[in-house]
Amino acid sequence: MRAVGNTVTLAIAAAMLDLPSPVLWPDCRLFRDSWIDKVATSIAIAGVSVPHYWLGMVLVIIFSVQLNWLPAVGAGPGGSGAWDGTGTYPYLILPAITTSVIPMGLSPARCAH
């Protein structure tokens, strides 16, 4: 049952990261064939095309190994297996970002022509 709770927690965190993305993107009909449209299209293509497993490894290498800002593995301190809200937020950041990249890429893709 703990795995289901972790999956739901990760899905909610990824959805929360994706919620503001449609609001942040400009209405591309207003900026058709401008540099804003080209940037939005490029970000959409990159966001949808990057494989999750590759992005996850790159994020771990950068933020866990090189910078030592976030934990590389686990779901909580001391080998705990559940995200229970007590000091486990750093363990949720990298998986949530990795999971939300494709939905974030779809927001500007919806307005690409």
Mean pLDDT by runs of 10 across the 113 residues of the chain is 78 83 65 79 80 91 94 73 69 88 67 52
CB distance 92 to 100 below 8 Å: no
| CA 95 to mean position of chain CA atoms | 7
> What are the Cα distances from residue 20, in Å, to 2, 82, 104?
29, 27, 9
The whole-angstrom separation of Cα 2 and Cα 8 is 10
Residue 1, pLDDT score: 60
Residue 83, pLDDT score: 62
Residue 63, pLDDT score: 95
Element (H, E) at 68: none
DSSP character for 76? S
Residue 42, pLDDT score: 81
Residue 64, pLDDT score: 93
Residue 109, pLDDT score: 54
